[in-house]
Structure 1
Amino acid sequence: MSATAKIKEAGLAAVLLTASALPAYAHVGMGATSSSSFIAGFIHPFLGLDHVTVMIAVGLWAALKGGKAIWAWPAAFVGVMLAGGALGMLHVPVPLVEPGILASVVVLGILVALAVNLPVAAGIAVIGLMALLHGHAHGSEIPENAPGLEYMAGFALATLMLHGIGIAAGCGFGPKLRNFVPAAGAACAAIGVSLAFGMI
Structure 2
Amino acid sequence: MKKNILLAIATLVASTSAFAHPGHGLESGFAAGFLHPLTGWDHLLVMLSLGVWAARRPQGQGWQLPVMFVVAMAIAAFTAMSWLSASLAELLVAASVLVMGGLLLAEVALSRGIQLAGVAVIAAAHGYLHGVELGSHWTALAGMVLATALLHGLGWWLGRQTQPWVQSASKLLGGLMLVFGASLLWA
Partner of 2:107 in structure 1? Answer: 115
For 2:172, the equivalent position in structure 1 comes to 183
Among 28, 31, 37, the alignment partner of 1:36 is 28
Measured against aligned partners, the alpha-carbon deviations of 1:29-80 in whole angstroms (never above 9, x if no partner) come to x569652311100000111111111111101110221423331000000000
Identity in percent: 34
Unaligned runs of 5+ in 1: 1-22
Does residue 126 of the first structure (1) align with residue 118 of the second (2)? Answer: yes
Name the amino acid aligned to 2:119. I
Question: SS state of the match for residue 140, structure 2?
Answer: helix
Secondary structure in 2 matching 1:128 = helix
**Most deviating of 182-191 and 96-105:** 182-191
Task: Indicate if the aligned counterparts of 1:81 and 1:133 stay in contact, CA closer than 8 A.
Answer: yes
Residue 102 (1) aligns with residue 129 (2): no
Aligned partner of 2:105: which letter?
Answer: A
> Counterpart of 1:57 in 2: which secondary structure?
helix
Give the TM-score, by structure 2 length.
0.80
Determine whether 1:49 maps to 2:38: no
- Is 2:144 aligned against 1:155? yes
Measured in 2, the distance between the counterparts of 1:33 and 1:84 equals 21
Q: Distance in 2 between matches of 1:44 and 1:24?
A: 19
Q: 1:166 matched to which residue of 2? A: 155
**Number of residue pairs aligned between Structure 1 and Structure 2:** 172
Q: 1:149 to 1:59 in 2, by over 3 A?
A: same
Give the 3-state SS of the residue equivalent to 2:84 in structure 1.
Answer: coil
Matched letter for residue 106 of structure 2? L
Structure 2 gaps of 5+ residues are: 1-16
Check whether the contact 1:63–1:167 (CA below 8 A) recurs between aligned residues.
Answer: yes
